Amino acid sequence: MSNEAVEILLVEDSPDDVAFLVRTFNKANLTARLHVVADGKEALDYIFCTGDYATRNNGNQPKVIFLDMKMPKVGGLEVLRRLKSDPTTQSIPVVALSSSNEERDLIESYRYGVNSYIVKPMDFDQFAKTIRSMGQYWLELNQTPKL
């Protein structure tokens, strides 16, 4: 595992969506420091430097986490809850990615402190545009406290 600081952590279990997202970040020249994990458990291991990521330097946290909400085993909400309840990780911006705008998912996510909630657009062009502007906003414009 690289110990270099990543800028974007993408938590997504669908290989199709990973393909779109990586392609989109690529096209926007945002892939340089993108790391992809395939489920919630791996996301938590990565962030808290446990399991397969035990040797990772936890001083290098991503500038933004794109988090798919619907994943098997450890879901997006659980990852969000763990991140936001830990003082060392709570200021990392989390952008929730969901297939739907179900009201209860939105309510739960904001209660746990999500920073942004995006419904993946059905239209590919729209999807790409959305992700591009999200990436630019969180990496280039948004400010977070220095850890």
Partner 1 sequence: MQPEQQLKASLKEIGDLKAALDEHAIVAITDPRGRITYVNDKFCAISQYSRDELIGQDHRVINSGHHPKEFIQDLWSTIGRGKVWKGEIKNRAKDGSFYWVDTTIVPFLNDDGKPRQYIAIRADITERKRTEDQLRASFKEINDLKAALDEHAIVAITDPQGKITYVNDKFCAISKYSRGELIGQDHRVINSAHHPKEFIQGLWSTIGRGKVWKGEIKNRAKDGSFYWVDTTIVPFLNDDGKPRQYVAIRADITERKKAEEKVLQLNAQLEQRVAERTAELEAFSYSISHDLRAPLRAMGGFARMLQEDFGAELPPEASRLLERIHVNAMKMGLLIDGLLAFSRLSRQPLNKSKISPGAVVNRVLEELQSETEGRNVKITVGNLPACQADATLLHQVFMNLISNALKYSRRRDPAIIEIGSGEENGHCVYSIKDNGAGFEMKYAHNLFGVFQRLHRAEQFEGTGVGLAIVRRIIHRHGGRIWAVAEPEKGATFHFTLEGENNHV
Cα–Cα distance measured from residue 82 to residue 113, given in angstroms and rounded to the nearest whole number: 11
Beta strands in the chain (DSSP E): 8-11, 34-37, 64-68, 94-98, 116-119
Per DSSP, 58 falls in state: T
Of 17 and 78, CB closest to partner 1: 17
Site string for partner 1, 54-93 (x = CB under 8 A): ----------------x-----------------------
Cα–Cα distance measured from residue 48 to residue 90, given in angstroms and rounded to the nearest whole number: 12
Phi, psi at 67, each rounded to 5°: -120, 115
Considering the complex, what minimum distance in angstroms separates the CB of residue 2 from partner 1?
A: 28
Asked whether position 23 contacts partner 1 by CB under 8 A, the answer is yes
Considering the complex, what minimum distance in angstroms separates the CB of residue 22 from partner 1?
A: 12
Asked whether position 132 contacts partner 1 by CB under 8 A, the answer is no
Of 18 and 139, CB closest to partner 1: 18
Asked whether position 98 contacts partner 1 by CB under 8 A, the answer is yes
Cα–Cα distance measured from residue 28 to residue 15, given in angstroms and rounded to the nearest whole number: 20
Query: Which parts of this chain interact with partner 1 (CB under 8 A)?
Result: 14, 16-17, 20, 23, 70, 98-100, 102, 120, 122-125, 127
